[in-house]
C-alpha cells in the first residue's frame, strides 16, 4: 500500500487515543528496534513541529537513540487486535534479546526520509530528527509522580524530534 504525506497535526485525536491504548511504537536505530511508548507529546517548539518522547536510560533503545538520533513513531489502527498484541509484546521484550519485528510478528517498513524504519502494519507514522534531549530532573519532580513512576530511580530522558514527515496509508 502506498503512503501519502499528511500534515503532522491532522491525526492528533487518533494519536492521543492510541497513545493511551494500546500505545505507540517508537522505532530507533538503523535496523529498528520498536518499543512501546505511552507517554509522548506533539506540538510546536522553536517554530518546528515536534514529537517529544521519553525513554529510560536502562532501555536498549536509549543507546540506539544516542547513536543515531533519528526515530519513527508508528500509530496502530483502532481496533487492530493483532497490533495491540504486538504493541504489548514490544513493551515486555528487549531488543537486546533478538529481532523484535520477528518476535512481535510485524513488518519493518523502510523510512521514507530517514534511515530508521517504521512498523508497516501501522497506518500512520512520523519520521523525526533529534533536535534536543535532556534528562528528567529528580529535584524538579512532583512528589506524587516520583513515588508512582520512579520508585527505583531510572528517570527518563526526553527526546525532542523535529517531525520531518508524517505518512498515512492510502
| Residue extents of the structural domains in the chain | 3-169
Angle formed at CA 20 by CA 130 and CA 170, multiple of 5 degrees: 70
How confident is the model at residue 27, as a pLDDT? Answer: 93
Cβ contact 119:74 at 8 Å: yes
How confident is the model at residue 68, as a pLDDT? Answer: 86
Q: How far is the C-alpha of 129 from the C-alpha of 54, rounded, in Å?
A: 15
Does 102 score more than 90 pLDDT? yes
**What are the cell numbers at 49?**
513541529
pLDDT digits (tens, 9 = 90+) for 15-29: 999 999 999 999 998
DSSP three-state, residue 115? coil
Does 138 score more than 90 pLDDT? no
Q: Supply the mean pLDDT for the chain.
A: 91
Distance of CA 47 to the CA centre of its chain: 22
Highest CATH level, class, for 3-169: mainly beta
Average pLDDT over residues 104-121: 95
- Cα 152 to Cα 35, 57, 80, 138, 149: the distances in Å are 20, 13, 34, 12, 8
Binning pLDDT at 50, 70 and 90, where does residue 149 land?
A: confident
pLDDT digits (tens, 9 = 90+) for 40-62: 999 999 999 999 998 888 787 87
Average pLDDT over residues 118-138: 92
Amino acid at each position: 500500500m502506498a503512503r501519502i504525506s499528511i500534515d503532522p497535526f491532522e491525526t492528533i485525536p487518533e494519536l492521543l487515543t492510541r497513545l493511551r491504548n494500546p500505545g505507540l511504537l517508537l522505532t530507533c536505530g538503523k535496523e529498528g528496534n520498536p518499543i512501546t511508548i505511552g507517554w509522548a507529546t506533539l506540538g510546536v517548539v522553536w517554530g518546528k513541529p515536534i514529537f517529544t518522547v521519553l525513554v529510560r536510560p536502562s532501555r536498549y533503545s536509549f543507546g540506539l537513540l544516542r547513536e543515531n538520533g533519528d526515530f519513527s513513531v508508528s500509530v496502530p489502527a483502532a481496533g487492530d487486535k493483532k497490533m495491540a498484541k504486538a504493541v504489548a509484546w514490544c513493551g515486555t521484550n528487549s531488543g537486546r534479546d533478538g529481532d523484535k519485528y520477528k518476535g512481535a510478528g510485524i513488518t519493518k517498513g523502510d523510512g521514507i526520509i530517514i534511515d530508521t524504519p517504521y512498523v508497516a502494519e501501522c497506518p500512520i507514522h512520523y519520521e523525526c530528527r533529534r533536535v534536543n534531549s535532556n534528562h528528567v530532573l529528580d529535584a524538579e519532580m512532583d512528589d506524587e509522580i516520583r513515588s508512582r513512576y520512579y520508585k527505583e530511580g531510572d528517570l527518563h530522558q526526553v527526546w525532542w524530534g523535529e517531525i520531518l514527515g508524517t505518512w498515512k496509508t492510502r
